[in-house]
């Protein structure tokens, strides 16, 4: 990534300025947010994985997208209603395919143990895991795990909950962070105004939200922007042409091919 930007180091890079991000891992081919999906993204030589971070009843940061376990396990209920020991009895693969039956429920610490020097990680903190308390909250816990894993320079945090930006700024202002556009908290501010207000390093939004005026605002202010979730080649090409810094895709192999053949 560019020298001026405070963005994570990419242990594996395609040697261009564009970032191929595996959304929830290579989640078109393996169940999202699992070790299989992340390891496949590493094999595919994606440059970054994106994962979703929630928290258990006993305060352990775990990797899952939804507020409940209903869609991706055979149990039901809020993630925060389970202890880690209880979640570890569930499996997160058979909803996707029988080939992945028995896939364990991943913790952040487990994932970061094998990403070091192999792939950068975008840690998206889920709104339901955030509280107003900074001390011992999910942001502080996640930062501790990142430090213990020795991947501080290979990680970027993001969230739709703007309190996360404020917590990061207080706890570790040097840690790269991206704001995930959320209309209600944005008070009609432009992307560059949000980036300035929340002191973040990048702006993330859906390809459906990316308007010409936002592109102009981001480009003229040299703000890196990452766009989710793009799985078809034509949209990939169009978003790359608009100057995006990176794209989140469930098919990082296809995105990589598109970037290489530009």
Active site residues: 23, 65
Residues 165-184 that bind ligand G3P (CB under 6 A): 180
CA atoms in the 13 A half-sphere facing the CB of 201: 21
Are the C-beta atoms of 153 and 160 separated by less than 8 Å? no
Question: With binding defined as CB under 6 A, does residue 50 bind ligand G3P?
Answer: yes
Gap between the Cα atoms of 50 and 62, Å rounded: 14
Which residue's Cβ has the minimum distance to ligand G3P? 228
Question: With binding defined as CB under 6 A, does residue 124 bind ligand G3P?
Answer: yes
In the complex, minimum distance from the CB of residue 135 to ligand G3P, in angstroms, rounded to a whole number: 26
Q: For ligand G3P, what does the binding mask look like between residues 51 and 90, x meaning CB under 6 A?
A: -x--------------------------------------
Q: Which of 42, 55, 248, 258 binds ligand G3P (CB under 6 A)?
A: 248
Beta strands in 24-69 (DSSP E): 48-55, 61-63
Gap between the Cα atoms of 134 and 1, Å rounded: 30
Question: With binding defined as CB under 6 A, does residue 32 bind ligand G3P?
Answer: no
Instruction: Tell me 91's DSSP state.
Output: B
Question: With binding defined as CB under 6 A, does residue 39 bind ligand G3P?
Answer: no
Identity of the residue, 143 or 247, whose beta carbon is nearer to ligand G3P in the bound complex? 247
Identity of the residue, 105 or 181, whose beta carbon is nearer to ligand G3P in the bound complex? 181
Question: With binding defined as CB under 6 A, does residue 214 bind ligand G3P?
Answer: no
Buried b (16+ CB within 10 A) or exposed e, 20-58: bbbbbbbbbbbbbbbbbbbbbbbebebbbbbbbbbbbee
Gap between the Cα atoms of 211 and 225, Å rounded: 13
Question: With binding defined as CB under 6 A, does residue 158 bind ligand G3P?
Answer: yes
Are the C-beta atoms of 228 and 219 separated by less than 8 Å? no
Identity of the residue, 124 or 253, whose beta carbon is nearer to ligand G3P in the bound complex? 124
Query: Which residues in this chain contact ligand G3P in the complex, by CB under 6 A?
Result: 23, 50, 52, 124, 158, 180, 204, 228-229, 248
């Amino acid at each position: 990534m560019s020298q001026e930007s405070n963005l994570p180091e990419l242990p594996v890079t395609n040697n261009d300025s564009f970032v191929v991000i595996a959304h929830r891992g290579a989640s078109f081919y393996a169940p999202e947010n699992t070790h299989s999906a992340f390891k496949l993204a590493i094999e595919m030589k994606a440059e970054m994985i994106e994962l979703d971070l929630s928290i258990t009843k006993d305060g352990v940061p775990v990797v899952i997208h939804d507020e409940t376990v209903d869609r991706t396990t055979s149990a039901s209920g809020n993630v925060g209603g389970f202890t880690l020991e209880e979640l570890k009895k569930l499996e997160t693969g058979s909803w996707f395919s029988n080939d992945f039956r028995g896939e364990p429920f991943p913790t952040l610490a487990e994932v970061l143990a094998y990403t070091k020097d192999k792939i950068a990680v975008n840690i998206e903190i889920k709104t339901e895991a955030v509280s107003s308390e900074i001390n011992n909250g999910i942001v502080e816990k996640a930062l501790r795990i990142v430090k213990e894993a020795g991947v501080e320079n290979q990680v970027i945090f993001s969230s739709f909950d703007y309190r996360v930006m404020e917590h990061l700024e207080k706890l570790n202002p040097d840690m790269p962070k991206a704001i995930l556009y959320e209309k209600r908290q944005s008070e009609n501010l432009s992307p560059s105004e949000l980036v300035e207000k929340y002191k973040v390093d990048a702006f993330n939004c859906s390809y459906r939200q990316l308007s010409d005026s936002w592109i102009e605002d981001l480009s003229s202010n040299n703000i890196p922007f990452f766009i989710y979730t793009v799985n078809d080649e034509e949209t990939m090409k169009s978003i790359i042409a608009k100057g995006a810094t990176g794209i989140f895709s469930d098919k990082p192999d296809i995105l990589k091919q598109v970037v290489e053949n530009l």
